[in-house]
Amino acid sequence: MIYAITVCYAAANEKWLAFILSGGALIMLVVINISFYLVYKREICSDPTFLKWTRLYPKTEKYISLMVIIVNFKSVKLLYSGFYGQESCLAHFEDPAKNFVKPLRYATYLSFLFVYIPIIAADVVIFLQVEWGYQILILAIEGATLAVLVAVLSIFELRNAERLLLTGDEQYIRIKPKAYNNLGNVMGVDVDESTLIRSRVMDDEYEIKLRKKALVQILG
């Protein structure tokens, strides 16, 4: 939002170089968001483990995917953020490095090149051309600071992105049964659907069986 306001102020103050740089950065952000959304639907959503997870939390996946295309592609990180400890924000992947981290990393690098660098350049131009006391100068300082901070944090995050995707696993039971008949009770602890998905031992047939069993228990 602050970048869009900077574009408007740059045009209003006739700082055309800053306007072109910041406006181009916003256009590229939209392009990257749309491109990542297409990759997300084609590749990330084809991950078998993630696909099972989305069956349990379809609304979460729907709303976050909309945020990807409307707000920022980085909104996809909400899928594994563990937001307020919610299981609906602890997605898991069969191959996170290939099916999730790789496209996210590419999109982030493109944003560095075509969004953050032009934005920072526009802010520097404004800083050099505008006297102190104008609102556009304050916005330029805030925008440059925010861009640098986000870029640095993104670099640190992407260094261990695969590990971040697994941070929620410790609270779940690790089960590796020889047969599905042993899945009902492991060390006296009941196994639910979310545990099975994260343990990567659940198939569609057994998912249906679990749902039928739960329905029978509910109906008494």
Same domain membership, residue 186 and residue 147? no
Calculate mean pLDDT across residues 86-90. 81
Write down the mean pLDDT value for the chain. Answer: 77
Boundary (domain end) residue, out of 146, 167, 188? 167
Same domain membership, residue 176 and residue 159? no
Q: pLDDT, tens digit, for every residue of 145-166?
A: 988 998 888 888 877 766 666 5
Same domain membership, residue 108 and residue 77? yes
Give 128's Cβ-side CA count (13 Å radius).
Answer: 8
Boundary (domain end) residue, out of 148, 167, 186? 167
Residue-wise burial string across 4-24, b where 16 or more C-beta atoms lie within 10 A, e elsewhere: eebbebbeebebeebbbbbbb
- DSSP state, residue 178: S
Q: Is the pLDDT at 193 greater than 70, yes or no? A: no
Same domain membership, residue 122 and residue 86? yes
**Domain count along the chain:** 2
Same domain membership, residue 151 and residue 58? yes
Q: If you search the block for the tokens 């051309």, which residue do you land on?
A: 129
In percent, the amount of the chain with pLDDT more than 70 equals 70
Same domain membership, residue 121 and residue 17? yes
Same domain membership, residue 183 and residue 91? no
What would the two tokens of residue 10 be? 């740059």
Same domain membership, residue 210 and residue 110? no
Calculate mean pLDDT across residues 189-195. 48
Report the C-alpha gap between 101 and 19 in whole angstroms.
33
- Model pLDDT, residue 165: 64
Same domain membership, residue 70 and residue 110? yes
Calculate mean pLDDT across residues 51-73. 90
Q: How far is CA 46 from CA 29, 36, 39, 108, 198, in A?
A: 25, 14, 10, 21, 16
Q: pLDDT, tens digit, for every residue of 29-48?
A: 999 999 999 999 998 998 99
Among 85, 98, 111, 91, smallest CA distance to 50 is for 91
For the chain, the residue count is 220
Same domain membership, residue 129 and residue 22? yes
- Model pLDDT, residue 205: 59
Same domain membership, residue 104 and residue 148? yes
Domain of residue 90, residue span:
2-167
Same domain membership, residue 206 and residue 138? no
Report the C-alpha gap between 140 and 8 in whole angstroms.
12
- Model pLDDT, residue 41: 92
Judged by DSSP in three states, 150 sits in: helix
- Model pLDDT, residue 169: 42
